[in-house]
Amino acid sequence: METGHRLESDSFGEIEVPADKYYGANTARACINFDIGGPLQRMPAAKEVTDGKLDDHFPLVVWQTGSGTQTNMNVNEVISNRAIEIMGGTLGSKKPVHPNDHVNMSQSSNDSFPTVMHIAAKCEEFKDIVKIGRTHTQDAVPLTLGQEFSAYVQQLAYGIKRVQATLPRLYELAAGGTAVGTGINTKVGFAEKVAKKVADYTDLPYVTAENKFEALAAHDAMVEVHGSLNVIACSLMKIANDMRFLASGPRCGLGELILPENEPGSSIMPGKVNPTQCEAITMVAAQVMGNQVAVTVGGSNGHFELNVFKPMIVKNVLQSSRLIGDACVSFAKHCVDGIKADRKRVQKLVNDSLMLVTALNPYIGYDNAAKIAKLAHEEGTTLKQAAIKLEILTEEQFDKWIQPTDMLAPK
């Protein structure tokens, strides 16, 4: 083995990995198998990651398995080894945080990649479109459409990670506790054998519950999992509502986004097209929120040695999981993929906004800036016209200091 490397193994055997890298065997092997395009072709990676602190640990290029499996495992390995390092362990040991068993638990590149792809692609596509922001549903200072969409990506990424973090508790089985948790009428080892059989059959890490009394009397794990689904439902509700409001129109609304026209929207108004995918996913979100109330009530009613709300709890958890999954696929395919920006409309609204005056605060102060905005609003003029009329600014000063593209980040 060369100096500066460590040996790691995957299902294909041992392979050398640079000693100073967080990635592991899967990534090292992919570096060999997909040496295409060089550093400029590297996959865009993910908080220490998005901050650029771990860029050197993501060497893989775009040209790899079509599902993105290698990059998925690259992320898993980096997160695993970084967590191991933080906990004082040895890089590459896969203990106590395993890249597959823990980081990758209950996900696949087949679903994680398209989930992020659909919205992240819009962040890139819309990164240069400067639009007006809105707070309290009123005009605010500018941002880019890409920045607006980046919030949606972060919301969903957080929700997905939260669900993954709650799943391990569901692998604890109550089998063997019998009537009240004592295990009466079973033999020593029965519970463990049942869990082993289930684990072997499903290829999932099921184990016997450490405390059978808790496993029968309470279903906090199910409540926790559904709580994570509820977080995703809240995110989806906000995202879909934003999109349909931004697309309202086509003539008399905000009209900044153009949603795909999938079907006729009215039986009486010819030519009307509605944001039906947004409506569908917000209804799903509402149902999941309702299910959350029911699961919460059910979970809180574990009287003495047995919770007797089991059928309702499991029905709601399974229904919410299925609804969110199906709705997200439909929303991505039939809405997000086809979203376009009406650049002319976006630019007009930016130019018409009174809140561009915020950029003048450092130069003329809040009170003078407010006078300009109020006069422009009262008289229906532009900010520039109002500023010149009030003799607070010259035309040259206004043009120099009011630049929407300079208002997108800290100075």
Q: Which residues are catalytic, by number?
A: 136, 266
What number of other Cβ atoms are within 10 A of residue 219's Cβ?
A: 25
Listing DSSP states for 180-220 in one string gives TSS-TT--TTHHHHHHHHHHHHHTS--EE-S-HHHHHH--H
Sign of the dihedral defined by the CA atoms of residues 27, 28, 33, 34, in that order? positive
Contacts (Cβ under 8 Å, ≥6 apart) of 21: 56, 57
How many CA atoms lie within 13 Å of 378's alpha carbon, on the beta-carbon side? 7
- CB–CB of 278/183 below 8 Å? no
Single-letter amino acid, residue 277: Q
Among 317, 307, 304, 107, which Cα is nearest to 227's? 317
Structure tokens at 370: 């407010």
Contacts (Cβ under 8 Å, ≥6 apart) of 401: 359, 360, 363, 393
Sign of the dihedral defined by the CA atoms of residues 186, 188, 190, 195, in that order? positive
